[in-house]
Amino acid sequence: MEEQILPATEQQFTTAHSVIGAQRPHRSRTIYRRTQGIAAMFAVVTRADMAGVMTLPAVAAFAVAWWQSGQLNGLALFFTLLGVLATALGMNALVEYGDSRRSANEAASPREGLVTGALLIERNRVAATTARNLALLLLSISAICALWLTLLAGWPMLFFMGLMILLALTFAASPIHYGYRGWGVGELGLFVAFGLLPVVGAFYVQTHTLTWLPFWVSIPFGLLLVMASLAFNLMFYRRDWRIRKRTLVVELGPPRALDFSVVLLVVAFAAFLPIITLARLPLVTLIVLAALPLPLGAVGRLHRDDITVDECLPYYNAIMGAILLTTSLLGVALWVDKVF
């Protein structure tokens, strides 16, 4: 029944929405440099680049905690970052596994010309059970890290890390898979799981105190992560629509989703202005605004009403680079204020 209605629905889709690269030929390409070899396929299935960026809010939290307390617990730093990274890798692998299951029939297969973890699974280059077991293994590693952090800093870390793991697991795993349900629920879960919780948890494990400081700091980083997710989903809007994966891009359509991501970008960087006052961060922290032109320039090169995959890739990379640059500039600013 579902396969029979796809062609008619596809015709409505191409006339009612902007189509990302629907009428343009694609050569097979990937976000990553290589897809040959175990390490390369691991990077594709787990979206390793995205997972690394999802760990950066916790890095920023450690910088803020060190700036305030003057101390840095290396063991707590290691287990926190490992736990957040393993959670991000595991969640991404679960998403790719879930996407491959949803697009198992030919009519819903990806047509963006990009090599993804889901496509590797569909073409049997990676076994579906391998991707699923890899995700569960990574989430188990993060659970072990959560237990170690509980021993080091007490039960609040079990709450922060445990809730993060739970949100990551249920993002794509049945029967909840809230990341597929629309209304921005998946993006909100991403904000909480990898913006709010890691920042508050990383700050607590270092200072053993809970203040408003990590909460304020988590806001811009969480918004930037949501923006990175929107940029990624822009590249796969057509596939996600076909498999009924109701991301915010699918619900809004590419033009409005792009407008919304620009709003998030402005709000994220503008938030540093009141945060400096509310959290009493040094004025030199304003140097983070130097990262703003990177994604803004990428946005300016997009054709709003006809966004192609070739345009989305630099845009996605620019946002990832902006998050890395923002984290680095924040760390440098706090170090300069602390040392000098």
Q: Is residue 12 situated within a structural domain?
A: no
User: Domain span at residue 330?
Assistant: 26-339
> Which residue from 329, 80, 90, 319 is spatially nearest to 223, judged by alpha carbons?
319
Domains of the chain: total: 1
Q: Is residue 18 situated within a structural domain?
A: no
| pLDDT tens sequence for the chain (340 residues) | 333 333 334 444 443 344 444 444 444 455 554 557 888 899 999 999 999 999 999 999 999 999 999 889 999 999 999 999 999 999 999 999 999 888 775 455 545 557 788 888 888 899 999 999 999 999 999 999 999 999 999 999 999 999 999 999 999 888 888 988 888 999 999 999 999 999 999 999 999 999 999 999 999 999 999 999 999 999 888 888 888 889 999 999 999 999 999 999 999 999 999 998 888 899 999 999 999 999 999 988 888 777 777 788 899 999 999 999 999 999 999 999 988 8
Joined together, the tokens standing for residue 290 give 């130097």
Q: Other CB atoms closer than 10 Å to residue 175's CB: what's the count?
A: 5
Q: Is residue 8 situated within a structural domain?
A: no
Q: Is residue 178 situated within a structural domain?
A: yes
Give me the sign of the Cα torsion angle 232, 238, 242, 244.
positive
Using alpha carbons only, what angle is made at residue 206 by residues 201 and 211, rounded to the nearest 5 degrees? Answer: 60
C-alpha of 206 from chain center: 24
**H or E element that contains 115:** strand 114-115
Phi, psi of 43, rounded to the nearest 5 degrees: -65, -35
| Residue 147, domain CATH | 1.10.600
Q: Is residue 13 situated within a structural domain?
A: no
